[in-house]
């Protein structure tokens, strides 16, 4: 019973940290709970995928599909608080405008968005729209589930094998979740992805490989430039691997 209560607390911490989903005010902030929230990151992806999938199906019944796609994209930004989009923009600004590690980390910490970040977000949303609108509505829930879960699993994998680049920065928002991850915790985080892949492996094995390859390239790039990852890097990995999965699926179907 104590174990179940603990897991519910961690799940609530993950929902509160990674989304804007309202929850009853019964959760109290505890660093030892928040720093384990990453294990439920793929579960959060599954939750967002289901909400987005059923939303787009419902909207498609009363609106043109392209409008349904745009409104669903807006919903995704709102439900996540643009957390991962912000990470993508910060990484684009930091790595685009900085040369040394200290410069990159300083730029990424700046709350203002620059030209690189603006361009990155524009290109991301254009690509997301173009890929989603190419997916038949009857397949959208499954493919959303895969894309949202596998991309967040890659972020969890980064925490598991990587090193946090802002070790001495106690003000970093990601410091609470960027703690060393045990093998048992990572295997637990893998469960949602495995549950999706097992019945649909013939359809999804190529997108999975492409996602892992892109993740590896990003991981190596971040490691060489700043010695590890930051919270913004985790958001960028989620965004880029999310797009990679959708693009690969569309390419296969075409």
Question: Model-level pTM?
Answer: 0.92
Residue pair 160/186 in contact (Cβ under 8 Å)? The answer is yes
pLDDT tens string, the chain, 254 residues long: the values are 677 777 787 788 788 888 888 877 666 656 666 667 888 999 999 999 999 999 999 999 999 999 999 999 999 999 999 989 999 999 999 998 888 888 998 898 888 888 999 999 999 999 999 999 999 998 999 999 999 999 999 999 999 999 888 766 555 555 555 667 888 889 999 999 999 999 999 999 999 999 999 999 999 999 999 999 998 999 999 999 999 999 999 998 86
Q: Considering only CA atoms, which of 224, 197, 212 is closest in space to residue 101?
A: 224
| Distance from C-alpha of 230 to C-alpha of 167, rounded to nearest angstrom | 10
Eight-state DSSP code of residue 66 = H
Residues in the chain: 254
């Amino acid at each position: 019973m104590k174990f179940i209560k603990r897991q519910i607390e961690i799940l609530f911490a993950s929902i509160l940290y990674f989304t804007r989903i309202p929850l009853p005010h019964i959760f109290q902030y505890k660093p030892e709970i928040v720093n384990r929230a990453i294990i439920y990151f793929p579960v959060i992806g599954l939750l967002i995928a289901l909400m987005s999938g059923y939303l787009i199906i419902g909207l498609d019944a009363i609106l043109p599909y392209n409008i349904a796609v745009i409104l669903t994209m807006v919903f995704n930004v709102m439900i996540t608080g643009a957390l991962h989009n912000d990470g993508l923009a910060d990484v684009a600004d930091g790595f685009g405008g900085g040369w040394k590690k200290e410069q990159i980390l300083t730029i990424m910490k700046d709350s203002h968005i620059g030209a690189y970040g603006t361009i990155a977000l524009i290109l991301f949303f254009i690509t997301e729209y173009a890929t989603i609108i190419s997916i038949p509505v009857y397949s959208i829930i499954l493919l959303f589930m895969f894309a949202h879960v596998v991309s967040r699993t890659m972020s969890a994998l980064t925490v598991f094998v990587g090193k946090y680049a802002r070790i001495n920065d106690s003000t970093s928002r990601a410091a609470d979740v960027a703690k060393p991850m045990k093998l048992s915790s990572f295997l637990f985080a893998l469960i949602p992805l495995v549950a999706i892949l097992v019945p649909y492996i013939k359809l999804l094995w190529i997108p999975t490989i492409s996602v892992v390859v892109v993740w590896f390239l990003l991981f190596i790039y971040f490691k060489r430039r700043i010695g590890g990852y930051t919270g913004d890097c985790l958001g960028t990995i989620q965004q880029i691997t999310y797009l990679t999965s959708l693009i690969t699926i569309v390419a296969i179907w075409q």
